[in-house]
Structure 1
């Protein structure tokens, strides 16, 4: 009990540094998931034990942190590369990864608090303060990323701790000082840079990006971290703000906002030009330059689409909604995926049906706003793991008989633990059709075996194009098709792929002529 005053070692297996190294070495001999779970347990144990001098506590946290580094990177990549993991394993992997980063951030924040309190050993760690604050801020950023990968609600604790850690760095005068946060490539940073990475990631509309694109966005934010701008006063180019004391998420600067000494203004700064330069370089080299680390191999089109998204949300004015939204309360019936949509549209078109019944796979969602282009809806309960950004669904308002097709564009969890989604509706109709290769049409006009698809256009647009939803991977740029709608047939020429999803291709075709 009096060890803090007498200088004796606390009653803990890691009180002796040599034994601590042996315990960590034993821990690292297991598979990565167990390593992360055990590392989290050790961090919790060290954090909950009184009597450690601050320099010894920091050394233990650093030892565990460095030991688990390669394992947490491996699990992060596994989670990203295998989106269809078994639910139980995915849950364990996410909990282990998020739990580790949460406990690691807590451990570094505890070291900061003890330094501020003048605990024994404080003098010995003064040279390590930039590293300590930088790691605390980076751990908080990684927690943000794991929450966003599940489109979860970001805890108030994270905004509080971001403000506390950065305010500490400012108070000690090293906020902008670059230091070695971790050994190795890209290990040098500053508290300001780590702080801005977290804030700019949140301001990049991550809730509208699927996991792989979210990962690219997070890596792009990290790549440009040193070029973001931060000011104590509102200045041109700093379109966002964060109050270090309010425990609230960052937001766009607006008229009438409350100002105070703890408000910081930030923005893309030189990173906006850097993003444009990188887009040009990717175009010139026909690929991502080797010096840019995205933590994986991604095709050029995917990377450029993420960069276009970032450019929109880093700009001075946010992208405007294409359609005006109306507040309302109603319900929609939805079905998941291309196959169920085909079944539903075919059933609705079946004139022998005396009434329109909803498919067995359907769910009822609550709509809270709507526009000509889509819906904002609450999902009362997520029944399966199909629901994610980019998911295709059939949609029928409760007052309609025919269904339409939509794509999930936003997915977040609110403070009431409800899932809220933004749905973009595709086209103005959803009619079942049959497609066949044009060369398979016989001289009599009959076609060979066709593939079911969904026509999304009631008539051709001003360019003579119609939109068609096809089975995933079936669109071919130089292959004309024969389309049969009810008792009519048309020759279609491919105009371009609008979007390819997990189970669908959404494409444009020019109507060449009726057959």
Structure 2
């Protein structure tokens, strides 16, 4: 009798002793405040890890129940952080630390069972629960990654090592794509180990694009659904795959290269994802509500549409970069003047065009403005232009100094195709991937048409930007749709405005190489673009009727499209 009483008294009463005790403990937990709930669960998990008892199937069932019971409280903590982007620094550090430490404790708790060598009688039960264990571990690693992205910090190498290993384990056991609800409270949503892993990978591709805390959180929520449009492949297909990850390294996603075709790599493409983004934007423009498109109840227009365009630009840039061989970079030390937006860039390009028009032959250092137009349109200089030059060979147009505000960026490296720049974050809050900018590195240089392709946070006050040069010899034009009865604003009228230009009907002729062919292209305001529409394009005293074709690229307020010259006006 005494031995029986001793056994009863010594019986483990910890919630980790089994599902029954864990359920009772979780029921009592409901009476506590959210903060107390998280504190109790964290202390319980840390105590279990410190105890070092052999993991059992009963303990695993209990761990999953305890983790699920604290989810509403933990989600509320995460929402508190995201909803208060301007909170005091001390409070931000406190909340950040609490979110990350709790996630790490849950990862360690689940890892204890992943690494366990269970008894034969427990092995089958643990294997049944292992898909949920790995998926929740990847989910918590994704939360940690997102909170590092909020601070623009590089992810710890240990995090990538754990994520890559956990996904590899799910592949080995053959349940990487098996769908199931992650938590009972989310029974209407299904996920898988592959979905959680891809969500982590794809959010990392947006981390260098200078998104706000709220924008990153929205993107992460959308990736809950979008991750199901992506499939990881062991075999590489050059026409289909754009990104890859090495499961044996402590690193995340990268652009596919020819030598990355061995077993440790997994590959995926972006075509379906970008198509979904474009379809979502089209439906929004047609009047569909944000909620009906599954974008969340707290997301509002126009912020939602702007973020969709930013994400599309970021992933479209990744897609293009996999198809382009980059030229070698050279380290330099110089500065560049920068203007933002199409209207300001057109004004600066017009100055260049005027400066180099009708110059005396003996002092001519640049291609004549009319020669540029002829070469863009015909591929040769017309007789009309030659007659005009001979009749007025030495007229130099006065320099027109437009009152356009510029900023200065430090150029650290350059290549044939672009620049690497360092800039102050506070002075460039407007900058986003896909932003159109004009740049020149000296007063005697032409303004170049450029696009910001990459952003990284170096420290709190500095950003690193990768900039692609679209053209070093653009031509400024005025643009008007032939069926538009409103008064056209000519390019020559730009000088009457101050530093802030309205949405003028201006554009840029840009030479562009498609394959091995040089084609005519036009960049204009997005509000002016319509496919197959006829436009009157005027370059000082020369006019053309053109028809816009396929879009090469678009930003938040500009469109760059192929153009066909229909006729030249007298």
Q: Give the TM-score range, shorter chain.
A: 0.5 to 0.7
How far 1:386 moved relative to its partner? 1.8
Distance in 2 (alpha carbons) for counterparts of 1:376 and 1:258: 29
How far 1:95 moved relative to its partner? 7.3
Q: Does 1:428 align with 2:462?
A: no
Q: Does 1:505 align with 2:508?
A: no
Distance in 2 (alpha carbons) for counterparts of 1:438 and 1:345: 27
> The residue matched to 2:429 in structure 1 has which SS?
coil
State the TM-score, normalized to the length of structure 2.
0.58
Distance in 1 (alpha carbons) for counterparts of 2:169 and 2:182: 16
How far 1:337 moved relative to its partner? 2.5
Moved more, 126-135 or 217-226: 217-226
Aligned to 2:394: none
Change (3 A) 1:308 1:44: same
The equivalences for 1:302-313 within 5 A come to none
The count of aligned residue pairs is 467
Q: Does 1:248 align with 2:256?
A: no
Aligned to 1:30: none
Q: Does 1:22 align with 2:31?
A: yes
Aligned to 1:111: 109
How far does the alpha carbon of each residue in 1:126-166 deviate from its partner, in whole angstroms, 9 at most, with x for none? Answer: 46443232111123235445656776533313202213434
Distance in 1 (alpha carbons) for counterparts of 2:282 and 2:344: 39
Aligned to 2:487: 440
Aligned to 1:155: 156
Change (3 A) 1:139 1:400: farther
The equivalences for 1:37-186 within 5 A come to 48=46, 58-69=64-75, 72=78, 88=86, 102-115=100-113, 116=115, 126=126, 128-144=129-145, 152-166=153-167, 169=170, 178-183=179-184, 184=186
Q: Does 1:395 align with 2:398?
A: no
Instruction: Return the match for 1:408 from 440, 452, 465.
Output: 452
Extract unaligned runs of 5+ from structure 1. Answer: 28-34, 80-86
Distance in 2 (alpha carbons) for counterparts of 1:507 and 1:489: 21
Aligned partners of 1:241 and 1:264 also within 8 Å: no
Aligned partners of 1:40 and 1:99 also within 8 Å: no
How far 1:428 moved relative to its partner? 3.4
How far 1:431 moved relative to its partner? 6.7
The equivalences for 1:318-467 within 5 A come to 318-321=322-325, 324-338=327-341, 341=345, 361-371=406-416, 373-379=417-423, 383-398=427-442, 400-413=444-457, 419-429=463-473, 440=487, 455-457=507-509, 466-467=522-523
State the TM-score, normalized to the length of structure 1.
0.62
How far 1:414 moved relative to its partner? 6.3
Distance in 2 (alpha carbons) for counterparts of 1:72 and 1:416: 22
Extract unaligned runs of 5+ from structure 2. Answer: 1-9, 16-21, 54-58, 356-396
Distance in 2 (alpha carbons) for counterparts of 1:272 and 1:499: 15
> The residue matched to 1:457 in structure 2 has which SS?
strand
Distance in 2 (alpha carbons) for counterparts of 1:113 and 1:492: 67
How far 1:434 moved relative to its partner? 6.5
Aligned to 1:194: 196
> The residue matched to 1:133 in structure 2 has which SS?
helix
Change (3 A) 1:99 1:467: same
How far does the alpha carbon of each residue in 1:404-447 deviate from its partner, in whole angstroms, 9 at most, with x for none? Answer: 332212223469996432213344346777677765379xx999
Change (3 A) 1:216 1:186: farther
Aligned partners of 2:478 and 2:507 also within 8 Å: no
Aligned partners of 1:197 and 1:222 also within 8 Å: no
> The residue matched to 1:105 in structure 2 has which SS?
helix
Distance in 2 (alpha carbons) for counterparts of 1:467 and 1:16: 64
Aligned partners of 1:153 and 1:415 also within 8 Å: no
Larger radius of gyration: 2
